[in-house]
A = this chain, B = another copy of it.
Amino acid sequence: MTDQAFDLGDPEYRAAVVDLLGVLAYGELSAFERMGADAALAPVLDDEIHLASMAAAEWRHFQALRDRLVELGADPREAMEPFVAPLNDFHEHTAPGDWWEGLVKAYVGDGIATDFYREIAQFVDPRTRALVLEVCSDLGNSQFVVDRVTSAIDADPALGGRLALWGRRLVGEALSQAQRVAAQRDALSGLLVGGVDRPGADLAEIGRMLARLTDAHTGRMQSLGLGA
């Protein structure tokens, strides 16, 4: 894949990049808001501070994405607007009932979303790619969630059954909102399939990508001691 193939002067490609940064920016903003609220559910203060610090990191990511949208001459508000309803619907359908559901959401829900954006990052220019990979980096929080959730399930095995169902619901809601976005945003979905002179994925590659996303999700559920 040659990087020269990505031309921000091409209106279709530029619209796709603005969409990608817009959905990521509102994703970070809404994750910041919801994760901060979920931190208040923590049973102990150290854990509350840890989840709050994860929320604060999402705010910094939001700022980086907004700054880049401004730099591209786009209006950040306009770029985010199409994604407000689907992302808010996702969060309203997956409001955690307790601290454990909040932790699993921060790991499994965010995990499948950031994996997806990292895949998309292969089909954009190097500068956009670096920013997407940066805001989708793990920041070492997975181990925190895995430690807390596996200990809690050890102490209360019934919790495992409930969280396994919760994990499936998170993925179902994420897929449902992703389909809604894909149906409405031609430019964004066009990133995956490419354009004239712009590389994209063929059907076989998309199949392999879906397999990678599914495997990574299953791996996260297993690391929590849960069936996917």
Contact = CB atoms under 8 A, between A and B. Distances in A.
A52 interface: yes
27 contacts: A29-B48, A29-B49, A30-B40, A32-B36, A32-B52, A32-B55, A33-B37, A33-B39, A33-B40, A33-B52, A33-B55, A34-B37, A34-B40, A36-B36, A36-B55, A37-B37, A40-B91, A45-B77, A45-B80, A45-B81, A45-B84, A46-B77, A49-B77, A52-B59, A52-B62, A55-B59, A56-B56
Nearest to A30: B40
A88 interface: yes
Integer count of this chain's copies in the complex: 2
Interface string A20-63: 00000000011011101101100001101100100110010010
Contacts of A59: 52, 55-56, 59
Interface residues of A, number: 24
Interface in A56-84: 56, 59, 62, 77, 80-81, 84
Contacts of A37: 33-34, 36-37
A30 B39 CA distance: 9
A46 B84 CA distance: 12
A62 B49 CA distance: 10
A55 to B, nearest CB: 7
A30 B48 CA distance: 10
A165 B92 CA distance: 29
A51 to B, nearest CB: 9
